[in-house]
């Protein structure tokens, strides 16, 4: 059939650049800032190596195709839409990257450009480069759907998306279901990131009511589309249309501020074609553009991500979010659903309004109206009406379909008042699409940027302390701690209900159940101080969860019953009561409670499983099957429902049908232990340990993990079978520990059971220590890691972890070094541990020569990592061998992390400048100019381009000196003048694109060379003033930081860094003013505090020359 939808699974071959193996070490990036929120990656492993060799690789391809579109989804790469092809116009309406070329952009490392990436529960999605579950569905209406699904490991939430094509529709429909499987609230965001191919003719299409855009965290604001201020350090004061790709020279994000429209997209003015996203703006307020920038820096990143497909931008669409970070809540067992549409269009230009069915553009100029309509399916006998100030001016009937755009053009009389006009498109029953223009309704007022949170002691009242703490939790803030705000409130008022409840919940979600209970009790005590029936019963529910977790089922039961006295906690309260009923084998009561829970929340997939289990136990098998059919209609990846269906069918002696259910579980779960454990735990939460064991038992032997065996042991013990328990404990210990990073709070009791019953197992306390450290329970982590090394003194990772904890949490540098040296001695091939050991040596200010010797001795391991190799060559640069540093740089292809750029390029420039200075000293001026000229274009192997707006003041100053040596006074003056450009106000200079203080110093030297001595003195005096005034500053990471350039394993001393920075600035100013001895003293103090401060060393040498 011509209009049929085809769906199929096919192995496809895509040229692919490989990545390194995931690192075996758990990563605890507690203070990492990533995309404006926490960059914590645990329990996900991190990949930090990108290969430079391209090979053909086979992937599973999920295809959808109808008359108009062809779609390809790759479940092995996070379920992304890899290809979206417009068959009518023979074009990819979403950027199609013909290679898989990862770069270090993702939360856990590799990330690829192109297609549509789906980011949840945070951005970028941890599993963006990992396989997820998939299935296909044929629908009764002729449409067909590709499904992808995942239970993410960080928080246990579940996300599912269905990609559907309809027979006669030229759009891709995406239906998403996000489900909180846990008994406590969780946060999420959802950004769908379609990439689009761009050039100088590309323009993003935001709704006509968008007059302003925010940066990340709403920390900055710009007018839109014509920017007229400074945004991302670019001066747009002359006015620049930032909806045009060509006008944005640097990496830039902007997010629309409010819109009443349901669409956004982009348009290619050269090909007259575009893409549009349509979704209900009430739940889809997020409208964002991201670009690497139309400059050398962006071109380099394009090169890192593709071989031949060129630049792109992302037109990002947020559901339940309008910014990054901007998280929303999912309550316990809550599901949120939404629908998005992506569609190609042509000829319209900048769309003024759209639905998934019709797109409209209106342009009025030269007394002429031009109206165009695009349709995603065939429409006949539509009516177009054009009104001026509500008076009908023009009307006509028309047909339109995806292959034929409707266009109307008519004359407008002179002197018409066009300050208010509208267009309506109708069929015989209703208005299908409308656009209204009212010049008086256009807002030109810019909103104010967001403000940083105050310190707890400075917050006005408990209300704001609670709200600030809650905000920090909701937005997963990387550096501010919500507990500090809750505790400040409790110090002021120990009976504060909300802050007691919030503090208890903070401990509850970290597995400190007994610690949480007194906070809930205090909240309840205050709540019932006037009457026993509070308006909000949340603390009762929370204390019920805590009591159930520690085995006090009676108190838990009583608490849940009290919680259901208020409506908002009834669905979760009844569900929790049913769990306890089942554990007590009170099936009639359980059926009543679980039915009441489902009455209040029909989207709780776990409740259907429990209800069907109860019905099975009551031998009401047909009713159980009906419940399961409904569960699977709502969620085809509900493995618990499939497992129950398997059991019910087996009870009915329907062996083949039961086996099909079993096979389906294996297929949908991909035979992965984490998937199976998630559903097995659901049974165990209701005391159904035999069912939980049977569920895990579906895994084949090759898919078993340490945690599957530990859980089997725990459940066997609960069933009283100690022999079987010990069997599984022994199995667990024998399993490979590689990438076993427990983080579910249920894992705590399971691992404690293993520790209790197998004192030869050093891995169980190691795993538990990992979990506790991730939960910020540092002393518990240290205790368990120390127990691990007592049992086995040959396990390196536990020593490495102790090194982190002793340095960061106990402030014991000597023990940290001892542990790290032991860890590396035990595994001399662990490049990550060598990098961290060197980082630790650097952090405690070991000498450069000593550290160079370490890296020389382990050079084969150094070669395994870009960052180690960079440290190695930077030491050569610092110790005066710039030629070797330069040759090392040119011998390697580097792969920078996004946000960590500027390191290798700095060494590249440093090496060239130092070689040039040496040439100038030897009167080799032409050689010097050649070396300095190389700094203006970075070679491709650096993996970076030169950032727009960079001022190489030192380079141009030395160029001026070289031309002076050649007696080229005009060229010398030209370069000295260029060396004076740029910002002159010193700053903290945290990020690679901040103005560095030595650049300002060379501005002063250049001014002096030009004879502007008084102005030069001002520059140098400003450096001294800044250094003196800010020396004692108490420094903290910026509240609105989007990304930090270093993923430091060890906590940095920001105040020490500031002191070093200010001393350096002070020395530069003193050197410029000829205060040589003072400058040498300042630089000397810098080098005492930081023995590898490159700037202090070279300017100390300059001071010595002046002396």
SS (H, E, C) 339-385: EEEEEEEECCCCCCEECCCEEEEEEEECCEEEEEEEECCCEEEEEEE
Q: Which two tokens stand for residue 470?
A: 């809650």
Across the range 798-817, mean pLDDT stands at 98
SS3 of residue 238 by DSSP: coil
Would you place residue 1046 in the very low, low, confident or very high pLDDT band (cuts 50, 70, 90)?
A: low
Would you place residue 994 in the very low, low, confident or very high pLDDT band (cuts 50, 70, 90)?
A: confident
Which run of H or of E encompasses 503? Answer: helix 497-508
Spatial separation of the C-alpha atoms in residues 1022 and 1101, rounded to whole Å = 22
To the nearest 10°, report the CA torsion of 991, 992, 993, 999. Answer: 110
Distant-in-sequence, close-in-space partners of 62: CB < 8 Å, separation ≥ 6: 7, 9, 72, 73, 74, 75, 134, 136, 146
pLDDT in tens, 173-229: 999 999 999 999 999 999 999 999 999 999 999 999 999 999 999 999 999 999 999
Other beta carbons within 10 angstroms of residue 358's beta carbon come to 19
**CATH 2.70.98.10 occupies which residues in the chain?**
6-19+52-211+241-345
Which run of H or of E encompasses 857? Answer: helix 848-857
Q: Which CATH class is domain 983-1107?
A: mainly alpha
Spatial separation of the C-alpha atoms in residues 963 and 984, rounded to whole Å = 25
Distant-in-sequence, close-in-space partners of 209: CB < 8 Å, separation ≥ 6: 258, 259, 260, 261, 442, 443
The CATH homologous superfamily to which domain 357-441 belongs is: Macroglobulin (MG2) domain (2.60.40.1930)
| Nearest partner of 286 among 311, 307, 264, judged by Cα | 264
Express as a percent the part of the chain with pLDDT over 90: 94
Q: Give me the half-sphere count of Cα atoms (radius 13 Å) on the Cβ side of residue 666.
A: 12
SS3 of residue 978 by DSSP: helix
Q: Reply yes or no on whether the pLDDT at 2 is more than 90.
A: no
What's the gap between Cα 831 and its chain centre? Answer: 26
* Residue 529: per-residue pLDDT: 96
Distant-in-sequence, close-in-space partners of 790: CB < 8 Å, separation ≥ 6: none
Task: Choose which CATH entry (1.20.1560.10, 3.40.20.10, 2.70.98.10, 3.40.920.10) describes domain 6-19+52-211+241-345.
Answer: 2.70.98.10
Number of residues that make up the chain = 1107
SS3 of residue 510 by DSSP: coil
Would you place residue 924 in the very low, low, confident or very high pLDDT band (cuts 50, 70, 90)?
A: very high
Residue 497 · residue 523 · CB < 8 Å: yes
pLDDT in tens, 709-726: 999 999 999 999 999 999
Other beta carbons within 10 angstroms of residue 638's beta carbon come to 25
Residue 184 · residue 508 · CB < 8 Å: yes
Would you place residue 444 in the very low, low, confident or very high pLDDT band (cuts 50, 70, 90)?
A: confident
* Residue 543: per-residue pLDDT: 98
Spatial separation of the C-alpha atoms in residues 1002 and 1000, rounded to whole Å = 5
Strands 358-365 and 212-214, sheet pairing: unpaired
| Nearest partner of 287 among 231, 219, 208, judged by Cα | 208
| Cα dist from 147 to 14, 69, 177, 320, 1076, whole Å | 22, 18, 11, 21, 70
pLDDT in tens, 131-144: 999 999 999 999 99
* Residue 35: per-residue pLDDT: 87
Q: Reply yes or no on whether the pLDDT at 693 is more than 90.
A: yes
3-state percent helix, strand, coil for the chain, nearest multiple of 5: 45, 20, 35
Distant-in-sequence, close-in-space partners of 393: CB < 8 Å, separation ≥ 6: 386, 387, 412, 421
Spatial separation of the C-alpha atoms in residues 172 and 194, rounded to whole Å = 12
Across the range 107-117, mean pLDDT stands at 97
User: What is the side-by-side strand order in the sheet with 391-400?
Assistant: 391-400, 379-388, 420-426, 431-438
Q: Which two tokens stand for residue 829?
A: 């091939």
Least confident residue range of 275-289, 892-906, 992-1006: 992-1006
pLDDT: which is higher, 994 or 362: 362
Residue 813 · residue 844 · CB < 8 Å: yes
Q: How far apart are the first and last CA of the chain?
A: 89
Q: Give me the half-sphere count of Cα atoms (radius 13 Å) on the Cβ side of residue 807.
A: 25
585: left (phi over 0), alpha (psi -120 to 50) or beta: left
Spatial separation of the C-alpha atoms in residues 506 and 44, rounded to whole Å = 22
**CATH 2.60.40.1930 occupies which residues in the chain?**
357-441
DSSP 982: S
Question: In this structure, which long-range contacts are made by residues 681-684, counting pairs with CB atoms below 8 Å and at least 24 apart in sequence?
Answer: 681/711, 681/744, 681/746, 682/181, 682/606, 682/609, 682/610, 682/640, 683/613, 683/640, 684/711, 684/715, 684/718, 684/746
* Residue 995: per-residue pLDDT: 80
Across the range 81-99, mean pLDDT stands at 98
* Residue 918: per-residue pLDDT: 98
Spatial separation of the C-alpha atoms in residues 874 and 879, rounded to whole Å = 9
Across the range 835-847, mean pLDDT stands at 98
Spatial separation of the C-alpha atoms in residues 844 and 735, rounded to whole Å = 37
Would you place residue 1 in the very low, low, confident or very high pLDDT band (cuts 50, 70, 90)?
A: low
DSSP 244: B
pTM for the model stands at 0.97
Q: Reply yes or no on whether the pLDDT at 992 is more than 80.
A: no
Spatial separation of the C-alpha atoms in residues 406 and 17, rounded to whole Å = 45
Spatial separation of the C-alpha atoms in residues 231 and 212, rounded to whole Å = 12
* Residue found under tokens 């010595």: 1104
Spatial separation of the C-alpha atoms in residues 625 and 93, rounded to whole Å = 44
| Cα dist from 732 to 718, 729, 751, 783, whole Å | 17, 5, 10, 21
Backbone CA torsion sign across 561, 563, 564, 570 = negative
pLDDT: which is higher, 980 or 995: 980
Residue 283 · residue 80 · CB < 8 Å: no
| Cα dist from 468 to 451, 456, 484, 545, whole Å | 12, 9, 10, 25
Residue 411 · residue 367 · CB < 8 Å: yes
Spatial separation of the C-alpha atoms in residues 290 and 268, rounded to whole Å = 17
* Residue found under tokens 């947020």: 318
Backbone CA torsion sign across 585, 591, 597, 601 = positive
To the nearest 10°, report the CA torsion of 572, 575, 580, 582. Answer: -170
pLDDT in tens, 281-315: 999 999 999 999 999 999 999 999 999 999 999 99
Which run of H or of E encompasses 38? Answer: strand 37-38
* Residue 1037: per-residue pLDDT: 85
Q: Reply yes or no on whether the pLDDT at 586 is more than 90.
A: yes
Spatial separation of the C-alpha atoms in residues 538 and 783, rounded to whole Å = 34
Q: Reply yes or no on whether the pLDDT at 1047 is more than 70.
A: no
Q: Reply yes or no on whether the pLDDT at 1045 is more than 60.
A: no
| CATH number for the domain formed by residue range(s) 494-601 | 1.25.40.10
Strand residues in 263-365 grouped as ranges (E): 263-268, 273-278, 286-291, 312-319, 328-330, 335-346, 353-354, 358-365
């Amino acid at each position: 059939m011509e209009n049929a939808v085809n769906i199929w699974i096919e192995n496809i071959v895509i040229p692919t650049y490989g990545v390194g193996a995931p690192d075996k070490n758990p990563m605890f990036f507690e203070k990492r800032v990533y995309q404006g929120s926490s960059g914590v990656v645990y329990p996900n492993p991190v990949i930090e190596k990108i290969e430079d060799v391209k090979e053909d690789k086979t992937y599973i391809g999920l295809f959808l195709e109808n008359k108009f579109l062809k779609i390809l989804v790759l479940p092995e790469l996070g379920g992304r839409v890899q290809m979206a092809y417009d068959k009518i116009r023979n074009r990819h309406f979403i950027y199609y990257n013909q290679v898989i070329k990862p770069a270090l952009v993702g939360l856990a490392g590799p990330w690829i450009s192109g297609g549509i990436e789906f980011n949840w529960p945070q951005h970028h999605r941890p599993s963006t480069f990992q396989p997820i579950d998939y299935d296909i569905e044929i629908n009764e209406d002729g449409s067909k759907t590709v499904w992808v699904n995942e239970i993410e490991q960080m928080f246990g939430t579940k996300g599912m998306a269905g990609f559907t094509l309809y027979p006669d529709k030229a759009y891709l429909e995406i239906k998403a279901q996000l489900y909180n499987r846990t008994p406590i609230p969780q946060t999420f965001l959802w950004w769908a990131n379609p990439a689009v191919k761009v050039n100088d003719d590309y323009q993003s299409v935001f709704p006509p009511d968008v007059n302003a855009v925010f940066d990340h965290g709403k920390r900055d604001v710009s007018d839109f589309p014509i920017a007229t201020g400074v945004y991302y350090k670019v001066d747009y004061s002359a006015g620049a249309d930032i909806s045009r790709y060509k006008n944005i020279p640097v990496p830039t994000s902007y997010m629309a501020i409010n819109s009443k429209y349901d669409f956004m997209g982009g348009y290619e003015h050269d090909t007259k074609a575009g893409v549009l996203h349509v979704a209900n703006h009430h739940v889809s307020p997020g409208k964002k553009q991201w670009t690497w920038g139309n400059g050398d820096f962006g071109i380099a990143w394009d090169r890192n991500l593709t071989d031949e497909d060129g630049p792109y931008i992302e037109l990002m669409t947020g559901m339940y979010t309008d910014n990054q970070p901007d998280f929303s809540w999912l309550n316990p067992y809550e599901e949120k659903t939404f629908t998005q549409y992506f569609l190609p269009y042509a000829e319209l230009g900048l769309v003024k309004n759209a639905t998934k069915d019709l797109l409209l553009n209106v342009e009025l100029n030269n007394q002429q109206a031009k109206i165009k309509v695009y349709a995603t399916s065939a429409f006949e006998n539509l009516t177009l009406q054009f009104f001026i100030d509500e008076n009908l001016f023009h009307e006509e009937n028309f047909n339109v379909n995806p292959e034929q755009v409707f266009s109307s053009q008519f004359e407008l009389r002179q002197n018409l008042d066009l300050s208010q006009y509208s267009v309506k498109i109708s069929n015989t029953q209703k208005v299908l699409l409308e656009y209204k223009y009212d010049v008086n309704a256009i807002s030109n007022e810019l909103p104010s940027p967001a403000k940083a949170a105050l310190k707890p002691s400075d917050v006005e009242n408990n209300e704001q302390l609670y709200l600030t703490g809650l905000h920090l939790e909701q937005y997963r803030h990387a550096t501010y701690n919500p507990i500090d705000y809750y505790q400040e409130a409790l110090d002021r008022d120990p009976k504060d209900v909300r802050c007691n409840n919030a503090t208890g919940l903070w401990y509850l979600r970290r597995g400190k159940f007994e610690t949480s209970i007194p906070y809930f009790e205090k909240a309840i005590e205050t709540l019932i101080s006037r009457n026993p029936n509070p308006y909000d019963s949340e603390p009762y529910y929370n204390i019920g969860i805590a009591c159930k977790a520690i085995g006090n089922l009676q108190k838990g039961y009583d608490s849940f019953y009290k919680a259901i006295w208020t409506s908002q906690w009834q669905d979760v309260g009844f569900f929790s009561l049913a769990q306890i009923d089942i554990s007590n084998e009170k099936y009639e009561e359980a059926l009543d409670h679980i039915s009441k829970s489902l009455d209040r929340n029909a989207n709780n997939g776990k409740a259907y499983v429990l209800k069907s289990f109860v019905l099975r136990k009551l031998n009401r098998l047909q009713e159980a099957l009906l419940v399961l059919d409904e569960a699977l209609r709502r969620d085809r990846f509900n493995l618990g429902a499939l497992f129950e269906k398997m059991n019910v069918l087996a009870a009915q002696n329907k062996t083949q049908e039961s086996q099909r259910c079993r096979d389906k579980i294996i297929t949908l779960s991909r035979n992965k232990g984490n998937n199976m454990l998630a559903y097995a735990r659901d049974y165990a939460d209701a005391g159904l340990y035999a069912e939980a064991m049977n569920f895990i038992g579906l895994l084949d032997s090759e898919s078993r993990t340490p945690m599957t065996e530990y859980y089997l042991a725990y459940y066997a013990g609960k069933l009283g079978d100690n022999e079987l328990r010990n069997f599984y404990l022994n199995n667990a210990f024998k399993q490979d520990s590689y990438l076993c990073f427990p983080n579910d709070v249920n894992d705590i009791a399971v691992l404690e059971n293993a520790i209790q019953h197998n004192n030869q197992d050093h891995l169980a306390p190691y795993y538990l220590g990992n979990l506790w450290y991730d939960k910020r329970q540092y002393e518990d982590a240290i205790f368990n890691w120390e127990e691990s090394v007592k049992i086995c003194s040959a396990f390196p990772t536990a020593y490495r972890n102790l090194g982190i904890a002793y340095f960061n949490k106990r402030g014991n540098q000597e023990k940290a070094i001892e542990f790290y040296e032991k860890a590396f001695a035990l595994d001399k091939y662990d490049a990550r541990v060598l990098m961290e050991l060197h980082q630790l040596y650097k952090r405690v200010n070991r000498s450069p020569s000593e550290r160079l010797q370490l890296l020389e001795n382990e050079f084969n391991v150094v070669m395994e990592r870009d960052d180690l190799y960079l440290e190695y060559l930077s030491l050569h640069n610092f110790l005066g061998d710039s030629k070797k540093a330069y040759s090392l740089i040119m011998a390697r292809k580097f792969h920078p992390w996004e946000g960590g750029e500027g390191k290798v390029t700095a060494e590249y420039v440093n090496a060239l400048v130092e070689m040039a200075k040496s040439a100038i000293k030897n009167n080799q001026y032409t050689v010097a100019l050649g070396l300095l000229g190389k700094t203006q274009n970075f070679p491709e192997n650096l993996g970076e381009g030169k950032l727009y707006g960079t001022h190489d003041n030192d380079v141009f100053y030395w160029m001026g000196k070289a031309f002076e040596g050649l007696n080229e006074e005009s060229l010398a003056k030209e370069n000295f003048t260029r060396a004076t450009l740029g910002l002159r106000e010193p700053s903290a200079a945290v990020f690679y694109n901040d103005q560095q203080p030595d650049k300002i110093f060379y501005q002063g030297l250049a001014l002096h060379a030009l004879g502007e001595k008084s102005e030069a003195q001002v520059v140098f005096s400003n450096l001294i003033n800044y250094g003196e005034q800010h020396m004692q500053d108490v420094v903290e990471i910026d509240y609105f930081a989007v990304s930090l350039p270093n993923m430091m394993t060890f906590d940095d001393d920001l105040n020490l860094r500031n002191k070093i920075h200010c001393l350096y600035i002070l020395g530069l100013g003193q050197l410029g003013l000829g205060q040589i001895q003072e400058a040498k003293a300042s630089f000397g103090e810098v080098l005492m505090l930081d023995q590898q401060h490159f700037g202090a060393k070279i300017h100390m040498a300059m001071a010595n020359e002046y002396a």
